[in-house]
Amino acid sequence: MASTTVWLARHGETIWTVEDKFNGLSEVELTERGRTQAEELGKWLEKEPLSAVYCSPLQRCIETAGLAVAHRGLSPIITPELKELDYGLWDGMRREEIISSYAELWKEWTRDPAAVAAPQGETGYDVLARVMPAIKRLVTKHAGESILVVAHKAVNRLVLCDLLGVPPRDYRRRIGQSACALNCIKWLNEEPFVVLVNSTAHYHAL
């Protein structure tokens, strides 16, 4: 039986990536470097027979996906379940600002970010509850094919934890996810096999 391949990417660099600000549902555009990263991602996947590309509804993912498949004639399919973890009142704040303003909650959150949420935000478990059914639905829909999925840092880390059997509470400690990083998962007989994690080889020379 042919395997189903999901190329799971994070969006390219944004100014908040550079400034180390938490970015959940706020709209922040790609930097020029981020756009170049997305273009290089497309070149890296040039020989991969992608049948479709799916992305988060946030503009940074839509733009990354569009640039990556611009030469293929594919249009990104917006998938709401792929949106980033909602950081609530922490959205747009720098780490040191959060530590200063929410010292106790920050300690609780860093101990278990899967179970603890930022004020007015959501937990890692909330993200898994909406993302994993969507991923499995796409795998079933594209059985035997290869697709590109463009999402976010926390989303991708949580997906990879789920597939690798890593406790969700460790998603920030155990899984890296750089700007425009590429991951690859192959499904055979409904069993996932992770073959690539957090690769930035496509833009290492930038």
For CA atoms 138, 81, 95, 110, give the dihedral sign: negative
Q: Which of 81, 84, 142, 202 is catalytic?
A: 84
In the residue annotation, 11 being an active-site residue is answered as: yes
Residue 108 near residue 178 (C-beta atoms within 8 A): no
What is the C-alpha to C-alpha distance for residues 142 and 185, in angstroms, rounded to an integer? 13
For CA atoms 84, 85, 90, 94, give the dihedral sign: negative
Task: Spell out the residues 6+ positions from residue 137 whose beta carbon is closer than 8 angstroms to its own.
Answer: none
In this structure, what DSSP letter does residue 86 have? -
Residue showing tokens 């709401």:
80
In this structure, what DSSP letter does residue 151 have? E
Task: Spell out the residues 6+ positions from residue 191 whose beta carbon is closer than 8 angstroms to its own.
Answer: none
Q: Which amino acid is at 92?
A: G
Residue 56 near residue 82 (C-beta atoms within 8 A): yes
Query: For residue 195, what is the enclosing H or E element?
Result: strand 191-199
- Residues designated as active site: 11, 84
